[in-house]
Amino acid sequence: MSKSKVGNFFEDFSLGQVIRHAAPRTVTVGDVALYTALYLPRFAVQSSAAFAQAIGYREAPIDDILVFHFVLGKTVPDVSLNAIANLGYADFKFLAPVYPGDTLTATSEVIGLKENSNKETGVVYVRSTGKNQRGETVLDYARWVMVKKRDKDAPVGPEVVPTLLKSVAPADLGKAVPAINVAAYDKDLAGSPYFWGDYEVGEKIDHIDGMTVEEAEHQIATRLYQNNSKVHFNQYYEAQGRFGKRIIYGGHVISLARALSFNGLENAFHIAAVNGGRHVNPLFAGGTVFAWSEVLDKAEIPGRSDIGALRLRLVATKDHPPADFPLTTAEGKPHPAVLLDLDYWAVLPR
């Protein structure tokens, strides 16, 4: 019997199944430097220990999306190694800061299963939790992926599609942010004079800049997160697939869009929660990613006078500067240039 693992197929999952994922990951400043080289994030709190300490952090925290990548990367060998596509996210909360030297582990629970009509694939819903070395939950989220079946005729259990929250409540925001000394928050060093109160619901922001994705970059990124999904870096495998080439990891697009959003949201230094998100179209090397945002809502965070939350829609586009804020066509279908549609809460000083 082979000792090599081939990953789970759709019929291998069962409702309520709990999976402890392998390979704990200690996060280092080297990881942060490589992440910066890949995406160019410029938020002052994560970029500068001196800035972070001045406003109340122990030191510069790890970028929220990098934490997400590490936790999701742990889950791939067990959840999505045989996935065709990562479909979406919901009820996604950052609950504690992560600092260099912290070690992350992950577990997942299967919360839903739905076989597709072609009998060749099915959608697996999981809730994944990332914890640090002290057992504190730093990240909790639901996601769903389309996974191949090993055997088209294999029997599967009853269909269960979980009911997920449409949005994270304001009371659950800001848990990963210490008390902020707003008077010490240097707007010049942060890059913008605009705080929470300066944004209005309905406001749209063209983030202007674009970033072209190179083949080597997205493969380095995927390896950095220890994400071994075949579709991202195995060209021999993907040459036989529907696109004939490697698909760029959807999280790579999230990181690019988040980094690009700095231009116009410079003081949105923390992602507190993700209400939902969809990878609308695939991205391949050579494409240029742009981004725009819309302010969907504003919220005060109970018990916090130092920070407030903006509910933002972050849209990433391919080869389409977003001055016209593309989202859907006249027929109501997704705009062909749209790669990502992400609904999230960001924290800003007040």
Encode pLDDT of 25-82 as tens digits: 999 999 999 999 999 999 999 999 999 999 999 999 999 999 999 999 999 999 999 9
Question: What confidence tier does 1 reach under pLDDT thresholds 50, 70, 90?
Answer: low
Cβ neighbours of residue 216 closer than 8 Å, sequence gap 6 or more: none
pLDDT of 241 above 90? no
pLDDT of 313 above 70? yes
Of 180, 108, 171, residue with least CA distance to 139: 108
pLDDT of 345 above 70? yes
DSSP assigned state of 191: T
| Residue-wise burial string across 3-26, b where 16 or more C-beta atoms lie within 10 A, e elsewhere | eeeebbbbbbbeeebebebeeebe
Q: What is the largest CA-CA distance in the chain?
A: 64
Rg of the chain over all Cα atoms, to the nearest angstrom: 20
Mapped onto helix, strand or coil, the DSSP state of residue 104 is strand
95: number of Cβ within 10 Å: 17
Query: For 70, phi and psi rounded to 5 degrees?
Result: -65, -40
250: number of Cβ within 10 Å: 24
Whole-angstrom distance, CA of residue 42 vs CA of residue 264? 12
Residue 73 is predicted with a pLDDT of 95
Whole-angstrom distance, CA of residue 174 vs CA of residue 20? 27
Average pLDDT of every residue of the chain: 95
Element (H, E) at 74: helix 64-79
pLDDT tens for 266-306 read: 999 999 999 999 999 999 999 999 999 999 999 999 999 99
pLDDT tens for 171-222 read: 999 999 999 999 999 999 999 999 999 999 999 999 999 999 999 999 999 9
Whole-angstrom distance, CA of residue 264 vs CA of residue 21? 38
Query: For 144, phi and psi rounded to 5 degrees?
Result: -135, 140
pLDDT of 94 above 90? yes
Read off the pTM: 0.94
pLDDT tens for 69-93 read: 999 999 999 999 998 888 889 999 9
Whole-angstrom distance, CA of residue 76 vs CA of residue 85? 12
Beta pairing partners, 348: 308
CA end-to-end span of the chain: 61
